Amino acid sequence: MKLTSKGRYAVTAMLDIALNQASGPITLSMISERQDISLSYLEQIFAKLKKSDLVLSARGPGGGYRLSRDASQISVSQIITAMNENMDSRKCKGKQNCQGGVECLSHELWSDLSDMIDGFLEHISLQQLIDKRSKVKEIKFA
C-alpha cells in the first residue's frame, strides 16, 4: 500500500479547482503557483483526471479546467483510482498467493484493512473536505 505524491497532488489540485472554479476555468499554471506543484507534473496528473472524466477542459483564451460534476459527487477514492494508485495493503493484491502460491496466515487482516481504506476514501467527497476546511478556519479565527 502506497499513496504516492501523484495521488496526493491530484487530490490537492482537485480541491484547488473546487475552491476556485466559481470565478471561471482554472489553468494548470494557477494551480502550480498556488499549490507549489510542478507544471509538468500537473500536466501528467490532469491527463489522467480528464481520461477518468473527473475534470472538463476548455482550450484557448479563458480556458482551463473545471470539475466534471459537483464537488459532492467526486470522492477521494475516484481521484486516487484515476492516478492508478494502489491502496491495497495485501502483498498478493488479492490473488491469495501471498506465501509460495497459497494464502498467508494474515491474508484476511490485510484484506479487511484494504476494504476499510477503500470504503473510507470512497465516502469522502471533495465537498466534505472543503466543508471541513471551512469549519477549521472558522474555529481558528473565531
Nearest partner of 26 among 137, 18, 4, judged by Cα: 18
Q: What is the pLDDT of residues 20-54, one digit of tens each?
A: 999 999 999 999 999 999 999 999 999 999 999 99
Cell 476514501 sits at which residue? 121
For the chain, percent of residues with pLDDT exceeding 70: 82
Confidence of residue 97 (pLDDT cuts 50, 70, 90): low
| Mean pLDDT across 97-105 | 68
CATH topology of domain 5-141: Arc Repressor Mutant, subunit A (1.10.10)
DSSP-derived secondary structure for 90-132:
-TTTTSS-TBTTB--TTHHHHHHHHHHHHHHHHT-BHHHHHHH
| CB distance 113 to 89 below 8 Å | yes
Q: What is the pLDDT of residues 54-84, one digit of tens each?
A: 999 988 888 899 999 999 999 999 999 999 8
| CB distance 45 to 85 below 8 Å | no
Q: What residue spans define the domains of the chain? A: 5-141
pLDDT at residue number 99: 63
